[in-house]
Structures are given as C-alpha cells and as structure tokens.
Amino acid sequence: MPFLPVNQSDLKERDWDYLDIILISGDAYIDHPSFAAAIIGRTLEAAGFRVGIIPQPDWRNDSSFTVLGKPRLFFGITAGNMDSMVNHYTAQRKLRNDDAYSPDGISGKRPDRAIIIYTNIIKRLFKGVPIVIGGIESSLRRIAHYDFWQDKVRNSILADSKGDILIYGMGERPVTDLAILLQKGVPVSSIQNLPSTVVFSSTFPAKEDIILPEAEKCSAKETFYQMTRQFEDNYRTKTIFQKNAGRWLKHNPPAKPLTTKEMDSIYALPFAYQPHPVYAGHKIPAYEQIKDSITSHRGCYGGCNFCAIACHQGRNIQSRSETSLLKEAQKHTGTISDVGGPTANMYASFCGLDFPETCKRNSCLVPDICPNLQINHSVQLEILAKIGNLPRIKHLFIASGIRYDMAVNDDNYIEALATKYTGGRLKLAPEHSVSSVLRLMNKPQIEVFEKFCKKFYFYTNKAGLKSQIIPYLIIGHPGTTMEDAFELRNWLRKNKLKVEQVQEFTPTPMTISTCMYYTGLDYETGKPIHIPKPSEIRRQKELIINQ
C-alpha cells in the first residue's frame, strides 16, 4: 500500500479528489506502528475512510494547513508522540536543541502547546469542520492539570483549545467509532457517551457521577490534592464531570482494552515501516532508534508515581499473539533491537480478577506483588526463542524496561536475560536507593534490586560473560533532600555501580508525583514534604554524576 497522502501528488497517486479525515501531527510522518499518526491513520483507512496526514505544518504559514484541502468528516490533531512542552524544554526549563521526531533531529518544527496552536488555526481556516484532539499531549491534559512550564494550574486542554471532542489513551477504537458516527450524520455535539472521550456536556451530572472541584478553584493546593485523589480513584470506572471556564466537561470512562485479536489486526495493517519519501536523504532519530524493534504489548500496572503510562495506555496488558509477532519478525534481517512494551516482562500477564472496581491499588507490584497477578515469563521466553531461531535473525535483544521485582524469583528468566538477550549491558531503573524516596515514587525497595543483580551476575559469571547493569536514577523527586542524595551516592560507591543516565524529575501533567510537587503534600498521607528547588536539584545531580 502507498503511504497515506501528505500532499497533492500523493492524492493524485491514489486518484482521490477529497479526504474524509485529515490528521495533523507535530511529528514527521513515519509509517510505522510506533508512531501515533501512522497507527491511527492506518486504522481509519482499514475502516474504509480516506485519510491524509499533514506532518509538522508551519504554524506561521496558513498554506501549510490547506495543502490537503477540507476533510469531509473531521480534522484529527495531535502534538505527536510527546507533549510539545516536554519535547521543547528540559527539567530546568531550558530550551532543548534537538527533536528526535524531526528530520535530522532539528528542533523548532512544532510550536509550544502544539494542540492549542494547531486547533486555533484550523478553526479559523475551516469554520464548522469538527476538530478531534488526541495523542499524549491531549491525553495527559484532559482535566484541570498543573503546568510546570507556566507554574500554574491550567484548564482541560479541550477547553483551552476549543476543540470539539478529546480522545484520550490509545485511540484506535474510539476514533473509528467516532468516524462511523460522523459518517452516519450524527452531529459531533451529540456524541456524548463514547468511551475514552472528554466532551463539553449537554447535560448536568447524574447522581451516580463524580464531580471534581471546578478547574478555577484547583489552584488552591489542598483542592488540587483532593481533585487528584478523586480522579485517580474513579476515572477507570466512573463518569466524571468538571467545570472548566464555566462549562461542564464530561470525562467518559476508558474504552475496554483491545483483545489479542484486535491487537494483531492493528499490527497487521500495511505499514511501510519507514519515513515518507519526502524525508529522503534525512535521518529521523526516533525512527532510527526503533526501526529494528517490535512492540509486543501495551499497558502497565507498575504504578510508578512519576509515570503516566497507565493513565494513557491503561493498566491491562494488551498482548499480541505469537503468530503476529513471528510474522513481523520475519520482516527483519540481522538484529532485532527489542521485543517489548512499556515493561518487557509484563507480556501476557494479567489480573486473575480482571481489575475489579473494588480494587483500589495503584500498583499490582508495590508494596508487594498482588496474589491475583498472573505472571508467566515462560510465554515470553518461548516466543523470543522462536524469533531468535528465524533464519535471517542473527541477534535478538530486550531493550524495553524490565521490572526486576517481577523477575527476581524466576531464575530461568534471569538466566535467559543474562546469557541471551541483553548484549552485555542491562539497563534497570531502581530510580533511587533511599527507602523513604522509593515509597514516594511507589517503587520497590532497593533490596529487591540488589537481589536481582546478584542473580544476574551469577549467571553471567557462570556463562563466562562480561556484563554490566546500568542503573537509571531520578534526582529531585518530591520529598528528596541532599541527605538522600549523599546516601544514594554512598550506595552507588558501595555497589561499584556506574551511572550513565541521571534524570532530573520533571513534573509532567497528571502524574501523582506532579501532584506532590505542586502541593508539597505526600500523596498517601497528605502530610507536608520537602520539595527541592532547581538549585538543589542541580547539586543533587552533580553529587551523583561526580561520585
């Protein structure tokens, strides 16, 4: 199949004189299922719609937005695979000088707050055409949220952008259902109950619905804290309302997780697995990083407080079948750099009770692994073995994150990692070593990491291999002090661990850690905690880097 159209030449190649749907993305167009616009575009195409993409339009030039004409049904707008503010700025609010999702890594191809800018331009140029916003920037700003870059609580991005409907999470099913409704002539304003959407409500909340504090009142830190707890406790199962700029926003519960059959059908779509030809002669760093990898599943139930994966992809692990993975693996030659997802060894695991409404745990793993969690690493190992035995595959690695607390008691899995799938360097994320900090992060205690490392090195030594565990750390998380940084440095020295990546905590929208950063309150207890200032965070980082 040809690429989805990005210009008039592409439209002529397909002999099309109109499009049903036009997607606008802050990323370059890479026709690969790891990139949001491509996977949504191909899904809509498979449902029978004519879809085009305007990648990285110049927001200073209206003609960039009119290149494909006016869509018959709607514009779909995304900032891309990253929040545009995270993409542009460091944890110290300094401008980044590169962009992995742009040709040759050149920055400046998208505006700050891309969703709002793109939507305002489309509303001006194409009056009356429905606008659907989505992607990570919309998903994690779907209710009132703290914005680190302005140091203020902002309204839902649906209210700020004045789009018509917001789709949060992995949007294949809701965006297809929405397109079908619009195709049938249903007005976008009448689409009120679609799962995984946020809309301007045409009705008042019902008795059983959850009402969050008004967005304008959430600047008060105690109110923001209460709103976050209320949302976290209810968004998976209840309809939630919140007033934003005087209007009721309705947050519908998430769509049901995709089945294995549905996942397989999505990844079987006719992707080109490369950037559009308009980028010939240019390298796109994000594509170079993932072009030899395979996505095996989605979702995460780890519940790290600084992470928003579960809020976006869901807690349920949605796994592809062995047949699907082998079919994709056969397209590769030489090295497969990764077979995984947010957490590699969550593949094919599930809750034995299917995450009942009565379960209030934020994590299935912390403080202890839930007895209802069904983990079977052997399923993943069997598939990896079959992929590794394909005639054109020479090397196979796991580069996705590993939850060592899930694997620590499975010696077969640790041995396989140590001797077959890590390439001599295993990157793990203990994030810190101090007990009180790990509790605030909702991470396992450091003794679990140490136990895993001991077993890993036992198997590498037994096999006569030289291997190294590289720890990922977060510095400056809410609740950390200089004393904690000294203790972390001493732990690294004691264990002779070399650090390659020290990440400064960035308060991204809608995480529990961001709630703690803004409010200065321990999320679990509601008691005040220390919030390190930027200068202190720099000192903590220097202490660890220069250990």
Residue given tokens 């807690």 in the structure block: 315
CB 464 within 8 A of CB 475: no
- The closest of 107, 143, 133 to 228, measured between CA atoms, is 143
Whether 231 and 240 have beta carbons less than 8 Å apart is answered as yes
CA gap 337, 398 in Å, rounded = 7
Q: Which residues contact 494 (CB under 8 A, 6 or more apart)?
A: none
Q: Return the structure tokens found at 262.
A: 């549905």
Compute the distance between CA of residue 409 and CA of residue 452 in angstroms, rounded to an integer: 8
Q: For the residues of 363-377, what is the DSSP string, one character each?
A: -SSSSS--TTEE--H
Q: Tell me whether the omega of the peptide bond preceding residue 528 falls within 30 degrees of 0, making it cis.
A: no
> How big is the CA angle at 337 (ends 332 and 342), to the nearest 5 degrees?
115
Q: Is 300 marked as binding a ligand?
A: yes
Is residue 351 annotated as involved in ligand binding? no
218 labeled part of a ligand binding site: no
Q: CA-CA distance, 539 to 118, in Å (whole number)?
A: 39
Residue 348 DSSP code: T
Contacts of 184 (CB under 8 A, 6+ apart): none
Angle at 144 between CA 139 and CA 147, to 5 degrees: 80
- Binding site members: 300, 304, 307
- Binding site members for [4Fe-4S] cluster: 300, 304, 307
